[in-house]
Every structure is written in C-alpha cells, then in structure tokens.
Amino acid sequence: MDVRVDADGIARCGWVGEDVEYCRYHDEEWGNPLHGDRALFEKLSLEGFQAGLSWITILRKRPRFREDFAQFDPETVAAFGPDDIERLMADAGIIRNRAKIIATIANAQIVTQMASGELDDFIWSFAPATPRPRPRVLAEIAATTPESEAMSKALRKRGFRFVGPTTMYALMQSGGMVDDHVAGCWRAT
C-alpha cells in the first residue's frame, strides 16, 4: 500500500504502518531538514545501527541510545573506552553490535577533529541541487542515489564506518535532504 489512511483520517506514506510512535516520527521528523553537528552525528550513528534492521526497532530504542551515548555528544562519545564498550554490549535497551558500537566511537573521534559546523556543511553538500520528482508510489523510491553513493564514498575516505550508500540515502530522507513523501501523503506538498 503506497498511502494509507489511518483511523485518525490522515493519509500517510504506506511504510508507516499503525504504530503510534512511527506515525509521530513520520508526521513530525522524517523529511524535515536536520542541521547541527550533534544532531547529524546522532542521525549518522542511528542510521548505522539500523543497517540490516527496521527503523521502527531503532526508533523504539532511541531514548536508550541517547542515554547510553550521552545524547550523542561527539566529545563525550569520542572518549569512550573499553569499559564503555562492555557497558553498551550488556545493555539490551540498544542494539548490541560490537562493530557498530566501536564504529560510533570512532566516528565521534573523527567528528571531534572537524571544525564546528563542518559535519553539517559536509553532509549537506551532498543534497541534490534540484529536487527529484515526488514519488507517486513506494516502488519509485530509490535505495541509493548518485548523491548517497558520493556521500558514502567521501565519508569512508575520511574514515567513517557504517556509512554505506543505502544507509546514507536513509539519512538523506530522514534528515530532509530529499523529500520522498509519496504523492497523496499529507506531508507531500
């Protein structure tokens, strides 16, 4: 189903489903332009944890992720050591994937070496110059784009991990760099 009308009478993108938190996320966050180094570091990290999983899983665990990762403050996360890794691996409230935890810490270390605002500028430099046509159906939404492939390659060149082109396209969608709300969704304007 490309667009669904929920019990509240609102037409939403079909991927949302009936979960109240997912509806709130779709209505209030997904596709809104996101700026700021800390906010984008959080998004980059959570999208990395999402790789291979559903976003609703991450969304439900996001409050605990924020608590465990010091609100995704890059300076604090960059200083995490072996004890922090073991603490995170023991916490069932997050995704306990050692490689993703270590990557998040390493990515924070890279962010702390960047000037203030540089991560924001860098990420947004990959936003398409002109908006793509609005998808009419979910099948028209790409998994990757030349921009997400370029972003992934540039981030990997800087040393970032868990930043594949599909993951980076998800960041572009959720962070408002592209607008993939399907025609007929109330957010499609």
SS3 content of the chain, % helix, strand, coil (to 5): 55, 5, 45
Of the candidates 123, 114, 127, 34, the residue with the CA atom closest to the CA atom of residue 74 = 114
Q: 26 labelled as ligand-binding?
A: yes
Q: 13 labelled as ligand-binding?
A: yes
55 is catalytic: yes
Tokens of 4: 């669904």
Catalytic choice (29, 55, 124, 186): 55
Q: What is the distance between the alpha carbons of residues 189 and 180, in angstroms, rounded to a whole number? A: 11
Tokens of 72: 């995704």
Q: 35 labelled as ligand-binding?
A: no
Residue recorded with tokens 């994937």? 97
Kind of pairing, strands 3-5 and 11-13?
Answer: antiparallel
Q: Would you tell me how many other CB atoms lie within 10 Å of the CB of residue 161?
A: 17
Catalytic choice (15, 30, 42, 47): 47
Please check whether residue 4 is in contact with residue 11, taking contact to mean a CB–CB distance below 8 angstroms. yes
Q: Which residues are annotated as a binding site for Zn(2+)?
A: 13, 26, 181, 185
Which amino acids are annotated catalytic? 25, 47, 55
